[in-house]
A and B are shown apart, each in its own frame.
Chain A
Amino acid sequence: MVAAGSPAARGFNCSNCGAPVELRALQHARAVACTSCGSILDPRDPNLRVLQKARSKESITPDIPLGTRGTWHGQPWEVIGFQRRSIEVDGIRYSWDEYVLFNPYRGFRYLSRYEGHWNDIRTVRELPEPTGSGKRPTIRYQGETYAHFQSATAHTDFVLGEFPWRVRLGDEVKVSDYNAPPYLLSSETTDDETTWSLGRYTDAQRIWQAFAVPGSPRTPSGVFANQPNPYKERASRSYRTLGLLLALFLVLVVGRLVTAAREQLLAARYTYQPKDQNAAFVTEPFAVRAPGTVEITLSADLTNAWIDFDLALINTDSGVAWNVERELSYYSGTDSDGAWSEGSRERRVLLPRIPAGEYYLRVEPEGEATSQPVSYVIQVRRDVPSLLPYGVALLLLVAPSIAATARSSSFERRRMQESDYGD
Chain B
Amino acid sequence: MRTLYFLLGLLIAGTALMADTRGWFGASPSLIRNVPRSIRDNPGAYRSLYSGSPRLFGGK
Contacts and interface: CB of A to CB of B under 8 A. Distances in A.
Interface residues on B, range: 35 or more
B2 A238 contact: yes
Given A280-B43, A362-B46, A393-B16, A323 B30 contact: yes
B13 A245 contact: yes
A195 B7 CA distance: 52
Interface of B: 1-2, 5-6, 8-10, 12-13, 15-17, 19-27, 29-37, 39-40, 43-44, 46, 48, 51
Nearest to A325: B48
A320 B33 contact: yes
Contact of A245 (B1, B10, B43, B51): B10
Minimum-distance CB pairs A-B, first 5: A352-B23, A350-B26, A393-B16, A389-B19, A245-B9
B24 A310 contact: no
A216 to B, nearest CB: 28
B10 A241 contact: no
B25 A350 contact: yes
Contacts of B33: 318-321
Contacts of B23: 292-293, 350-353, 386
Contacts of B24: 352, 389
A59 B37 CA distance: 100
Given A241-B6, A314-B35, A314-B39, A252 B13 contact: yes
Nearest to B23: A352
Contact of A244 (B6, B8, B21): B6
A134 B5 CA distance: 40
A323 B32 CA distance: 8
Interface residues of A, number: 51
Given A312-B48, A313-B29, 15 more contacts: A242-B5, A245-B6, A248-B10, A249-B9, A256-B20, A293-B23, A320-B34, A320-B35, A321-B33, A323-B48, A324-B27, A352-B22, A364-B44, A383-B21, A397-B12
Contacts of A400: 5, 8
B2 A351 contact: no
Nearest to B46: A362
Contacts, number: 138
A351 B29 contact: yes
A293 B16 CA distance: 14
Given A321-B35, A349-B27, A241 B9 contact: yes
A268 interface: no
A310 B39 CA distance: 15
23 contacts: A241-B5, A244-B6, A245-B5, A245-B9, A249-B9, A282-B39, A293-B21, A312-B48, A319-B34, A319-B35, A321-B35, A321-B48, A323-B31, A323-B48, A349-B26, A349-B27, A352-B27, A362-B43, A364-B44, A383-B21, A389-B25, A393-B15, A397-B9
B32 A393 contact: no
Contacts of B21: 256, 292-293, 383
B32 A390 contact: no
A400 B25 CA distance: 23
B46 A237 contact: no
A61 interface: no
Contacts of B44: 278, 280, 364
Contacts of B46: 280, 312, 362, 364
